[in-house]
């Protein structure tokens, strides 16, 4: 009989982050997977990052996670989205080599000290006196543990659909996990069903790329991880993606399959993702649109497969192929694998603490799609938090909770726990109240102190960060005193399409102008008189941080004030024994939701759907 400090069941993106983090913190960890060659497999789109998702990858990296480093080593196109907009919504994205990503993840796990990889499937969880004890595998083996992290993705009682065709599976070609859900339900844990899907895969040799629009990556790619060596980046040859469109003819053909659609005939019980809908859902929901974007994305360097982004579907295979042939560039496309939908078990996250530990069974943690999320990045973010907290609990240390004002990870987990899961959750920049402070570019400054405290990042990395902070602080002290003369700066100001100055002006005031670059202003500065200018110019990250903080100073101060108001409610604790059923002044819905969610602070209570401001006022008075 095997025994470990921590057992992680499921080796997707959440499982890998949880297992590696806990092992690096000194715990004896086992990672259980059906197939070790499928570690962190990209079930759907072979890409990491995207709008707001890129923020999560940077935050995982800042805490000491591995997703960013793996993406950097296996990326075949890198791009920063939304560059024409403000820095709060700049989002990194990379197209990945699907097979290489899994191979690299496997090497990371196999080379990690304190981490044992076990092939097998958990069919039952074991508890005693409401505390987790271990699992039983499909081979009949019992594995004991002090903490269990469940990261089973879409495998729990998974059912796949394509037209009238239905089969069991966790994803294409892989069996489902059966039995574990039932054992959790017996423990009193609430269960639900959700749905997701994936598009067809095409043979790239059969695509007429000349009829599409090329989508190139950035000329100077930027890595996700601060640990990636930029001198040898990118690691792999880069590839283009391509853009094309559906048409009204495409939509008419797709409609022919609606009678056999598992979505419209009610055979799929789970709710699908609203922000990444199937193509059939899009043409029903957006009847006024004559076309929809389709991105053709390479799956890797050693394969001809292309992922048809925007064409997720569970319609019959013949309908899928006929519709694809109406899209420019795909008239003769060969469909290597049809798209399909998958219906799977999940466990609503209101049953969890902010640490991702179960409120019902002690030392049982849930992370990833099992909590009702979508996406590799959301899964990885939960995985590292669950792994860290499982390790902290075993070591008798204080729990780790990220607040909404600290990280997108905090926003993600807070939303999951305090808002009903009506569909698979996806992160967006609009979900964060303080997104100007929670930028990609400052993730290391916000979170690396935690990673260092937990032993997940090196002393050298943390020392470099401290030096960066010293340079930024020094810059804020000195820059207001630097003034530029009109004769030195006006030519540049005219080039930047902004008004010249008459005599002298502070470099800080000039920097606040929209098209003015701090680097250019520093280049014009008298280096003998202001030697700090040379020092700042020598560090790109210092210039970047100073410029953003100067240009958005007013907005940042406003958000800081909002955070102080937020902290008053967030720091107001609610005792675990608080009995809402006896408070008659609460609304009926508010009382019901509070009893169900069991918030730990007034701030958390205020974000629960159905709990009114009047309910919060009542609680505030009673708690005082």
pLDDT digits (tens, 9 = 90+) for 481-501: 999 999 999 999 999 999 999
CATH of the domain at 603: 1.10.150.570
Let me know whether 228 and 335 are in one domain: yes
User: What's residue 274's pLDDT?
Assistant: 62
Let me know whether 207 and 302 are in one domain: yes
Residue segments in the chain with a per-residue pLDDT below the cut of 70: 265, 267-275
Let me know whether 473 and 518 are in one domain: yes
**Block residue for tokens 């796949």:** 160
Residue 148 and residue 366 in contact, taking contact as beta carbons nearer than 8 Å: no
Length of the chain: 624
| Cβ contacts of 413 within 8 Å, gap of 6 or more | 349, 354, 356, 382, 385, 402
CATH of the domain at 542: 1.10.10.1800
Let me know whether 468 and 516 are in one domain: yes
* DSSP-based helix, strand, coil % in the chain, nearest 5: 40, 20, 40
Neighbours of 471 (CB within 10 A): 19
Let me know whether 528 and 586 are in one domain: no
Measured CA to CA, the distance from residue 456 to residue 25 in angstroms comes to 7
Q: What is the DSSP string of 567-616?
A: HHHHTSB--TT--GGG-TTS-HHHHHHHHHH--SBHHHHHTSTT--HHHH
Neighbours of 551 (CB within 10 A): 18
Answer whether residue 330 is part of any domain. Answer: yes
User: What's residue 273's pLDDT?
Assistant: 62
Q: Evaluate the CA torsion angle 375, 380, 383, 385 in order and state its sign.
A: negative
Residue 142 and residue 134 in contact, taking contact as beta carbons nearer than 8 Å: yes
Answer whether residue 229 is part of any domain. Answer: yes
Nearest to 272 by CA among 369, 176, 173, 349: 369
Residue 119 and residue 139 in contact, taking contact as beta carbons nearer than 8 Å: no
Number of structural domains (the chain) is: 3
Domain final position from 323, 342, 361: 342
**Residues forming a β-bridge with 177:** 156
Measured CA to CA, the distance from residue 363 to residue 358 in angstroms comes to 7
Measured CA to CA, the distance from residue 523 to residue 330 in angstroms comes to 51
Let me know whether 517 and 601 are in one domain: no
Q: Record the tokens describing residue 88, joined without a space.
A: 């709060």
Measured CA to CA, the distance from residue 152 to residue 180 in angstroms comes to 10
Let me know whether 467 and 529 are in one domain: yes
pTM of the model: 0.93
Let me know whether 226 and 308 are in one domain: yes
Domain final position from 342, 376, 393: 342
Domain final position from 290, 308, 342: 342
Residue 127 and residue 78 in contact, taking contact as beta carbons nearer than 8 Å: no
Q: By residue range, what is the domain housing residue 275?
A: 201-342
Nearest to 63 by CA among 432, 392, 363: 392
By three-state DSSP, how is residue 440 classified?
A: coil
Phi, psi of 82 (to 5 degrees): 65, 30
Measured CA to CA, the distance from residue 512 to residue 62 in angstroms comes to 29
User: What's residue 272's pLDDT?
Assistant: 62
Let me know whether 275 and 329 are in one domain: yes
Measured CA to CA, the distance from residue 598 to residue 584 in angstroms comes to 17
User: What's residue 189's pLDDT?
Assistant: 97
């Amino acid at each position: 009989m095997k025994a470990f400090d921590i057992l992680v069941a499921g080796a997707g993106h959440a499982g890998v982050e949880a297992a590696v983090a806990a092992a690096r913190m000194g715990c004896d960890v086992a990672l259980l997977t059906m197939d070790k060659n499928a570690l962190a497999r990209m079930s759907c789109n072979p890409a990491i990052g995207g709008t707001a998702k890129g923020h999560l990858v940077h935050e995982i990296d800042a805490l000491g996670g591995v997703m960013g480093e793996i993406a950097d080593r296996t990326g075949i196109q890198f791009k920063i989205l939304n560059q024409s907009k403000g820095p709060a919504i700049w989002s990194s994205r990379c197209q990945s080599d699907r097979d290489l990503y899994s191979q690299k993840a496997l090497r990371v796990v196999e080379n990690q000290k304190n981490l044992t990889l076990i092939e097998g499937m958990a069919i039952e969880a074991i508890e005693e006196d409401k505390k987790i004890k271990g699992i039983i595998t499909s081979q009949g083996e019992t594995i004991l543990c002090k903490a269990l992290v469940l990261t089973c993705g879409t495998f729990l009682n998974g059912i796949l659909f394509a037209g009238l065709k239905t089969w069991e599976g966790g994803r294409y070609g892989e069996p489902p996990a059966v039995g574990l859900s039932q054992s959790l339900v017996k423990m009193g844990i609430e269960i639900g069903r959700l749905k997701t899907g994936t598009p067809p895969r095409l043979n790239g040799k059969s695509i007429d790329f000349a009829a599409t629009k090329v989508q190139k990556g950035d000329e100077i790619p930027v890595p996700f991880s601060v640990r990636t060596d930029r001198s040898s980046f990118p690691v792999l040859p880069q590839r283009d993606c391509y853009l094309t469109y559906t048409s009204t003819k495409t939509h008419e053909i797709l409609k022919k399959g609606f009678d056999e659609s598992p979505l419209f005939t009610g055979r799929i019980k789970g709710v699908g993702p609203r922000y990444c809908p199937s193509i059939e859902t899009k043409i029903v929901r957006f009847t006024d649109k004559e076309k929809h974007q389709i991105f053709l994305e390479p799956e890797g360097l050693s394969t001809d497969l292309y992922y048809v982004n925007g064409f997720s579907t569970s319609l019959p295979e013949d309908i899928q192929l006929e519709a694809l042939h109406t899209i420019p560039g795909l008239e003769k496309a060969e469909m290597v694998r049809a798209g399909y939908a998958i219906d799977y078990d999940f466990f609503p996250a209101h049953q969890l603490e902010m640490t991702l530990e179960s409120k019902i069974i002690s030392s049982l943690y849930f992370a990833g799609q099992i909590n009702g999320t979508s996406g590799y990045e959301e899964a990885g973010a939960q995985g590292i938090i669950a792994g860290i907290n499982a390790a902290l609990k075993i070591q008798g240390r204080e729990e780790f909770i990220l607040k909404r004002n600290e990280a997108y990870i905090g926003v993600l987990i807070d939303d999951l726990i305090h808002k009903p899961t009506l569909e698979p959750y996806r992160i967006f920049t609009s979900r964060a109240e303080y997104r100007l402070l929670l930028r990609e570019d400052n993730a290391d400054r916000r979170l690396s102190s935690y990673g260092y405290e937990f032993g997940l990042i090196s002393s050298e990395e943390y020392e470099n960060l401290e030096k960066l902070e010293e340079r930024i602080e020094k810059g804020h002290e000195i820059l207001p005193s630097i003034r530029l003369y009109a004769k030195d700066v006006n030519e540049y100001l005219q080039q930047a399409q902004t008004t010249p100055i008459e005599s002298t002006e502070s470099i800080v005031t000039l920097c606040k102008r929209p098209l003015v670059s701090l680097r250019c202003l520093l280049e014009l500065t008298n280096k003998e008189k202001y030697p700090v200018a040379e020092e700042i110019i020598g560090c790109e990250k210092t210039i970047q941080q100073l410029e953003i903080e100067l240009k958005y100073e007013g907005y940042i101060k406003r958000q800081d004030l909002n955070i102080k108001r937020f902290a008053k409610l967030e720091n107001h604790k609610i005792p675990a024994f608080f009995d809402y059923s006896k408070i008659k002044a609460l609304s009926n819905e508010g009382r019901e939701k509070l009893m169900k969610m069991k918030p730990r602070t007034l701030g958390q209570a205020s974000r629960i759907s159905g709990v009114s401001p009047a309910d919060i006022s009542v609680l505030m008075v009673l708690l005082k």
